[in-house]
Amino acid sequence: MYEILAREDFSEVTFLLEVHYPLLARAARPGQFVIVMLHADGERIPLTIADYSVERGSFTLVVQAVGKTTNEMQQNCQVGSRLYAVVGPMGIPSHIGELNKVICVGGGLGVAPVYPQARALKERGAYVIGIVGFRNKDLIFWQEKFENVCDELIICTDDGSAGLKGLVTDGIKRAVDQHQDIDEVVAIGPPVMMKFCAEATRPHGIKTVVSLNPIMVDGTGMCGGCRVAVGGEMKFCCVDGPEFDAHQVDFDDLMNRLARFRPEEKQAYERWAQSDNCRLVQEEPNIH
Amino acid sequence: MAKKTIRNIPQERTAIATQGSKERIGNFNEVTLGYSLEDTLIEAERCLMCPQEPCVPGCPVSIDIPGFIQKICDQDFRGAYDVLAESTLLPAICGRVCPQEDQCEGVCVVARHLEPVAIGRLERYVGDMAITEGWVSEPEIEPNEHKIAIVGAGPAGIACAADMAKAGCDVTIFEALHRPGGVLTYGIPEFRLPNPVIDAEFNKVLELGVKVECNTLVGRLFTIDQLRNEMGFDAVFIGTGAGYPSFMGIPGESLNGVLSANEFLTRCNLMQAGEFPSKDTPLGLGRKVVVIGAGNTAMDAMRVSLRLGADEVHCLYRRTSAESPARVEELHHAKEEGVMFQWLTAPLEILGDEENNVRGLRCIRMELGEPDTSGRRRPVPITNSEFEFKCATVIYAIGTNANPIIGQTSKLKLNKWGYIETDDEQCSSLAGVFAGGDIVTGSATVILAMGAGRRAAQSMKKYLGINDPVDMEVSDPNQRRIFGIDARQKRFARVRLPEQDRVA
């Protein structure tokens, strides 16, 4: 269990891990997440499930190396190695209703986790419009996977090196202009992206669902660290979410709370980057 | 020996050594050091061996208290441990964290005239000795066909698991966190309950053949229904606790620097955030800490804050020390260590700076009015008494609510607060599913949860048709001795040789 079966590096910072865990593969539903520990002294980090396969007895994570733990994962999680702990699936699964036409938006880290939703909606017979955003052409991944489950796929790049030049919100604008009968938008990505997706759909009154990613410890409702403000009420993302009505979410509050440990995160990363455990230092090119 | 009377027993309760308050706030070592052998023997003599034995029903797990104290008097410590082990596999833990003053010691006959017998300290002495000496209770277990699932490796689940394993069942505990122990592990700090003590006593449960699966979130990885119908478990016990922390709903609660005592303690105890950055989990504790609430959890949070180097730690409580729900000993220790108590004070708003960090609290002074439904005098705000209080960290220790996961994922009947409904025998609304501890009663104590776990085990045995002739006497002190033999000793089928043979 928890063994890494496959790994794929999408870019210098983004990588995919396929993890062996048959029981979890059976239980997982779109919208859910896991908590991972790298080692006994590690922190518990929440990661949204990007895919799962009962046949392969595995689930997939797409991780971006941003801090100490995710950089350590990038370095150490090679095929054949094992994660120290995986717990999940956590959170309330997405409500995959009888919808006619849906937009699934993924940006940055959110591209992977929106995939299972697109697939599930397609399986329910919905017309699925996928909108995925990347910085440039080289960072694009899973295009074919998305094409297989989307009736239309709009790729957005910041620099226009592929697809539509612009942000995913530009993609939403295009899709909404072309289709007057959109039932729902699902948007997953960085908080600021989700905030602007919510603003893009609000004037049209299209129901919009986002998946939030606050700081968590246990992920079982016990610590309250993941509390988010939704419709003026406090909710615990881990057990009341992670998906909420985007038009009710206070994204500024979420972004403020995500900055809670910024000094500690920086300290931990720098300490690790300078330590013997980090091959960023050790693997400097040999001059001889 | 002459019959013991209130006049001829040692009159003073034997004092217990503690680490000095100045010294101890610089470390996480245990505060209360425990009795020496001599202390133990003197204190044991204070038990009158009264025929009423009010302490036994006073104990939520019905330990034969005079029985184990008599063994101490006989200097048969192994025997004392065996008596304890009939009712609890966690004497070193319970001796430390039980509120004995409200239980066994609260009803002790000696307490009518003198300080009660220090039952908890005696229990701890024997429990500690069992750990040091590596004693194991070796009940002769007759395996049966029944498979039992326990949800949650906290006190309730551990107690239920131990009883079911002794009854011969194949028991598996499922735990959501990466370490077992529940509140013992994530909640109670090292200086009150050292981790090696938890590990040692938990190992005794494993030695009974109980299996533990950590990192398993029941309800989400599989449901209670799947446990019963697909995975072949004949009965399930749910002891998932009440850890869903409460906040007050005042402005400023989402500021950085505001956290629940559960989060604070979980970071410190389970994740060892005090050792950041050599451990990965951060804490971000401010120099000046305010804890809202004055229960045992509040005391733990404050005393941990002091040990992690906070300059000032304040306790804010809207009533007075007399109404504080904390144990007297905890309150006393917190005071000794330098916690400053702001009684009759309630927070109105948490104030933040431009970077969204806590910079203080706006508070109001209270006075006590008429008694409310709980019988405690209700705090009433004093008009025009608002003031600001500078601090960098605010920790909420005002209680918890029911954890929603099992409710979200099963058809179990819940009450209006979300706790699982059970009858007096811990049976839930689903056949074969039992529940106990905080998830039924709301926040209570370790030992009450253990009591519920044991009651659930009784019901489970009844439900499964497991004959346990011993147990009918447990709740009836008059029937406990049959032909001069403690009926409960039958639970341990170990052959007991007569004294003289044993010596030979």
Q: What is the pLDDT of residue B503?
A: 40
Q: What is the mean pLDDT of residues B404-415?
A: 90
A113 within some domain: yes
B129 within some domain: yes
Q: What is the pLDDT of residue B472?
A: 39
Q: Tell me whether residues A85 and B178 touch, CB distance under 8 A.
A: yes
A85 within some domain: yes
Domain ends where: A168, A192, A211? Answer: A211
Residue of B nearest to A91 (CA): B220
Show the tokens assigned to B369: 């009015």
Q: What is the pLDDT of residue B60?
A: 84
Q: What is the pLDDT of residue B23?
A: 87
Q: What is the pLDDT of residue B7?
A: 87
Alpha-carbon distance values, B141 to A113, A274, B468 (Å):
49, 55, 12
Binned at pLDDT 50, 70 and 90, residue B499 comes out as: very low
Does position B264 have pLDDT exceeding 80, yes or no?
yes
B376 within some domain: yes
- B239 close contact with A: CB closer than 8 A: no
Domain shared by B257 and B394, yes or no:
yes
Show the tokens assigned to B262: 């559960």
Binned at pLDDT 50, 70 and 90, residue B342 comes out as: very high
Domain shared by B89 and B210, yes or no:
no
A119 within some domain: yes
Residue of B nearest to A2 (CA): B215
Binned at pLDDT 50, 70 and 90, residue B78 comes out as: very high
pLDDT tens profile B6-42: 888 999 999 898 888 888 988 888 988 899 999 999 9
Domain shared by A67 and A125, yes or no:
no
How many Cα atoms sit within 13 Å of B403 on the Cβ side?
30
B418 within some domain: yes
Alpha-carbon distance values, A214 to A253, B357, B397 (Å):
10, 17, 22
Domain shared by B297 and B394, yes or no:
yes
DSSP state of B346: E
Does position B484 have pLDDT exceeding 50, yes or no?
no
The three-point CA angle B290-B291-B292 to 5° equals 115
Q: Alpha-carbon distance B256 to A252, whole Å? A: 13
Chain A residues in contact with B247 by the CB 8 A cut-off are: 224, 227, 234
Q: What is the pLDDT of residue B496?
A: 37
Does position A235 have pLDDT exceeding 60, yes or no?
yes
Domain shared by B258 and B386, yes or no:
yes
Q: What DSSP assignment string belongs to B223-252?
A: -HHHHHHTS--SEEEE-----EE-----TT
Domain shared by B166 and B81, yes or no:
no
Domain shared by B163 and B266, yes or no:
no
pLDDT tens profile B149-175: 999 999 999 999 999 998 999 999 999
Q: Alpha-carbon distance B195 to B202, whole Å? A: 10
Q: Which domain holds residue A159?
A: 101-211
List the one residue out of B439, B495, B436, B405 whose CA is nearest residue B164.
B436
Q: Tell me whether residues B405 and A220 touch, CB distance under 8 A.
A: yes
Shortest Cα distance, chain A CAs vs residue B299, angstroms? 17
B479 within some domain: no
Binned at pLDDT 50, 70 and 90, residue B275 comes out as: confident
Does position B490 have pLDDT exceeding 80, yes or no?
no
B488 within some domain: no
Binned at pLDDT 50, 70 and 90, residue B497 comes out as: very low
Q: Tell me whether residues B404 and A218 touch, CB distance under 8 A.
A: no
Q: Tell me whether residues A23 and B221 touch, CB distance under 8 A.
A: yes
Q: Count helices and strands (H / E) in chain B.
A: 18, 18
A216 within some domain: no
Domain shared by B109 and B210, yes or no:
no
Q: Alpha-carbon distance A18 to A62, whole Å? A: 9
Domain shared by A63 and A111, yes or no:
no
Q: Letter for the amino acid at B260? A: S
Does position B478 have pLDDT exceeding 50, yes or no?
no
Q: Pairing state of beta strands A184-188 and A101-107?
A: parallel
CB-nearest partner of A88 from B217, B255, B263: B217
For chain B, how far is it from start to end, CA to CA, in angstroms? 25
SS3 label, residue B155: helix
Chain A residues in contact with B280 by the CB 8 A cut-off are: 41-43, 68-69, 268
CB-nearest partner of A88 from B220, B276, B283: B220
Q: Alpha-carbon distance B12 to B115, whole Å? A: 7
Domain shared by B30 and B112, yes or no:
yes
Q: What is the pLDDT of residue B502?
A: 39
Domain ends where: B400, B415, B445? Answer: B400
Q: Which domain holds residue B430?
A: 147-243+402-464
A252 within some domain: no
- B279 close contact with A: CB closer than 8 A: yes
Residue of B nearest to A90 (CA): B220
Q: Which ranges of B259-394 would DSSP assign to H, the alpha helix?
A: 261-265, 296-307, 328-337
Domain shared by B395 and B409, yes or no:
no
Binned at pLDDT 50, 70 and 90, residue B406 comes out as: confident
Domain shared by A48 and A111, yes or no:
no
Domain shared by A204 and A126, yes or no:
yes
CB-nearest partner of B243 from A42, A222, A261: A222
Q: Tell me whether residues A223 and B262 touch, CB distance under 8 A.
A: yes
Tally of domains within chain A: 2
- Using CA of residue B80, residue B84, residue B85, residue B89, what is the dihedral sign? negative
pLDDT tens profile A73-88: 999 999 999 999 999 8
Cβ neighbours of residue B6 under 8 Å, at least 6 residues apart? B48, B110, B113, B114
Mutation site, A44, A82, A217, A233, interface B, largest B CB count within 10 A: A217
Does position B317 have pLDDT exceeding 90, yes or no?
yes
Does position B139 have pLDDT exceeding 60, yes or no?
yes
Q: What is the mean pLDDT of residues B400-414?
A: 89
Residue of B nearest to A32 (CA): B220
Q: Pairing state of beta strands B288-292 and B312-316?
A: parallel
Q: What is the mean pLDDT of residues A229-237?
A: 93
CB-nearest partner of B259 from A90, A225, A259: A225
The CATH code of the domain that includes B441 is: 3.50.50.60
The CATH code of the domain that includes B80 is: 1.10.1060.10
Q: Tell me whether residues B271 and A43 touch, CB distance under 8 A.
A: yes
Q: Pairing state of beta strands B147-151 and A227-230?
A: unpaired
Domain shared by B391 and B277, yes or no:
yes
B116 within some domain: yes
B449 within some domain: yes
Domain shared by A108 and A87, yes or no:
no
Q: What is chain B's Cα-based Rg?
A: 24
Residues 178-217 of A with CB under 8 A from B: 217
Q: Tell me whether residues B247 and A86 touch, CB distance under 8 A.
A: no
- B216 close contact with A: CB closer than 8 A: yes
Domain shared by A200 and A121, yes or no:
yes
A232 within some domain: no
Domain ends where: B108, B133, B158? Answer: B133
List the one residue out of B13, B7, B9 whose CA is nearest residue B119.
B13
Does position B477 have pLDDT exceeding 50, yes or no?
no
Alpha-carbon distance values, B66 to B44, B50, B83, B95, B100 (Å):
9, 8, 10, 15, 15
Q: Tell me whether residues B277 and A69 touch, CB distance under 8 A.
A: no
Shortest Cα distance, chain B CAs vs residue A204, angstroms? 30
Domain shared by A62 and A80, yes or no:
yes
Total residues belonging to chain B: 504
Mean pLDDT of chain B: 88
- Using CA of residue B365, residue B367, residue B372, residue B376, what is the dihedral sign? positive
Domain shared by A19 and A52, yes or no:
yes
Q: What is the pLDDT of residue B2?
A: 67
Q: What is the mean pLDDT of residues A19-26?
A: 96
pLDDT tens profile B410-467: 899 999 998 999 998 898 888 899 999 999 988 888 888 988 998 999 999 999 988 7
Does position B482 have pLDDT exceeding 60, yes or no?
no
Helix (H) or strand (E) holding B433: strand B433-435
Alpha-carbon distance values, B388 to A89, A108, B108 (Å):
44, 43, 46
Does position B382 have pLDDT exceeding 90, yes or no?
yes
The CATH code of the domain that includes A177 is: 3.40.50.80
**CA of residue A25 relative to chain centroid, distance:** 17
For chain A, how far is it from start to end, CA to CA, in angstroms? 42
Report yes or no: A185 and A207 within 8 Å, Cβ to Cβ: yes
Residues 118-157 of A with CB under 8 A from B: none
Does position A287 have pLDDT exceeding 70, yes or no?
no
- B101 close contact with A: CB closer than 8 A: no
The CATH code of the domain that includes A12 is: 2.40.30.10
B427 within some domain: yes
Reported ipTM: 0.90
Does position A237 have pLDDT exceeding 50, yes or no?
yes
Q: What DSSP assignment string belongs to A66-91?
A: -SHHHHHHHHH--TT-B-SEEEEEES
CB-nearest partner of A41 from B244, B280, B282: B280
Domain shared by A38 and A75, yes or no:
yes
Binned at pLDDT 50, 70 and 90, residue A217 comes out as: very high
Domain shared by A87 and A181, yes or no:
no
Residues 152-191 of B with CB under 8 A from A: 176-178, 186
Does position A212 have pLDDT exceeding 60, yes or no?
yes
Q: What is the pLDDT of residue B84?
A: 92
Chain B residues in contact with A233 by the CB 8 A cut-off are: none
Domain shared by A206 and A130, yes or no:
yes
Q: Alpha-carbon distance B320 to B183, whole Å? A: 27
- Using CA of residue B488, residue B469, residue B421, residue A33, what is the dihedral sign? positive
Domain ends where: B380, B400, B420? Answer: B400
Binned at pLDDT 50, 70 and 90, residue A163 comes out as: confident
Tally of domains within chain B: 3
Domain shared by B223 and B267, yes or no:
no
Domain shared by B265 and B396, yes or no:
yes
A286 within some domain: no
Chain B residues in contact with A69 by the CB 8 A cut-off are: 280
- Residue with the larger pLDDT of the pair B403 and B477: B403
- Using CA of residue B225, residue B231, residue B234, residue B239, what is the dihedral sign? negative
- A37 close contact with B: CB closer than 8 A: yes
Q: What is the pLDDT of residue B447?
A: 85
Chain A residues in contact with B217 by the CB 8 A cut-off are: 87-90, 219-220
pLDDT tens profile A42-72: 999 999 999 999 999 999 999 998 888 999 9
